[in-house]
Amino acid sequence: MLREAIDSVLAQTYRPIEVIVVDDGSTDETGEVADELATRHAELRVIHQQNGGPGLAREAGRLLARGAYIQHLDSDDLLLPRKFELQTAALAAAPQSDVAYGWTRFRLTNGTVEAPAWKRSGERIETMFPSMLTSRWWDTATPLYRAAVIAAAGPWTDLRVEEDWEYDCRIASQGVRLAFVEDWVCEIRQRGAPYNAPAHLRDRARAHLLMLQHARNAGLENESAAMQFFARDLFHLARQCGIEGLPEESRQLIAAARSISNARDLRAFELAGRTLGFSRVARGARWFERLRAHVR
């Protein structure tokens, strides 16, 4: 897959390009494959580092990148040949825009491709906020960024989950406008990922709290539909954290939700959590809901 991903970049019709491959502490032959490819392609440079997760891997690449545009690509996804050509042209035609995106193809593990464009990549959306707060509606390979907005966003965090969504919300807080390409630009390939519930939820909690900060920096009003939706998302995540034995994360998330919304169930959860403990209340709420569903 790494060879295919790199080949998809080298096959771009647009030039000049540079390809920075970050070997993030791989335990297979990834590093060797990358080094071997670098001996055959002048555009390619390889960084080897201790495993730090996707955010820190992209940060290592960000610090070396010299181009006017930045493209992120996970090693198991593909760019289509005209991606850079189409998206740089879209940005040249829309100088007020700093990010271009286009249709994204999603391939299942059985090899079949879903017919519609992946997530909301087939829709014309004018600005990153407020839509990016309700969901990360594209995938990592979809957007092409002007390097200036990446520089303004600054360093990636060491988050291992939702690090890309947090970063896009940080970019969105700059008031970024989008250029839309009505063509297929990349392919995302379905894959599984290891899951550790407490570690996963800790990073999600931290990412969500940062995203709320970015939304506030952008001036999104509490009364807006996006912020009200996000309050419910925070509440849902607070309950998950409580169930998995993360009471402090649960407390922080419900406080963040309450800073947006005065909904009765949020108030009740916060009050009960302060009195009885957030993990106990979250687990009790889950038990009650299961019992009610069984009775029905």
Residue 222 in this model has a pLDDT that exceeds 60: yes
Largest CA distance in the chain: 67
Average confidence score pLDDT of the chain: 95
Report the C-alpha gap between 142 and 186 in whole angstroms: 6
- Tell me the three state secondary structure of residue 260: coil
Q: What is the token pair recorded at 39?
A: 């001996």
List all residues 6 or more positions away from 295 whose beta carbon is below 8 Å from its beta carbon: none
pLDDT (0 to 100) of residue 56: 97
Structural domains of the chain sorted by starting position, each given as residue range(s) with its CATH number in brackets: 2-189 (3.90.550.10), 197-295 (no CATH)
State the pLDDT at residue 291: 63
- Of residues 203, 202, 194, the one with CA closest to residue 166: 203
The confidence score (pLDDT) of residue 190 equals 86
Q: What is the pLDDT of residue 252?
A: 98
Residue 295 pLDDT more than 60? Answer: no
Given a contact cutoff of 8 angstroms between Cβ atoms, the answer to whether 98 and 168 are in contact is no
Contacts of 153 (CB under 8 A, 6+ apart): 167, 170, 171, 174
State residue 287's pLDDT score: 77
pTM of the model as a whole:
0.93
Q: Are strands 78-79 and 178-189 parallel, antiparallel or unpaired?
A: antiparallel
Q: Taking 80 as the threshold, does the pLDDT of residue 45 lie above it?
A: yes
14-42 pLDDT, tens per residue? 999 999 999 999 999 999 999 999 999 99
pLDDT tens digits, residue range 51-86? 999 999 999 999 999 999 999 999 999 999 999 999
One-letter amino acid at 282 equals A
pLDDT tens for residues 235-267?
Answer: 999 999 999 999 999 999 999 999 999 999 999
- The percentage of residues in the chain with a pLDDT greater than 70, rounded to a whole number, is 97
The dihedral sign for the CA sequence 203, 205, 210, 215: positive
Residue 57 CA to residue 188 CA, distance in Å, equals 19
Q: What is the pLDDT of residue 286?
A: 83
More confident residue, 111 or 86: 86
Locate 221 and state its tokens. 């009003």
pLDDT per residue over 189-217, tens digit each? 988 766 678 999 999 999 999 999 999 99
Secondary element (H or E) of residue 100: strand 99-107
Give the β-pairing of 44-49 and 19-24.
Answer: parallel
Q: Is the distance from CB of 179 to CB of 91 less than 8 angstroms?
A: yes
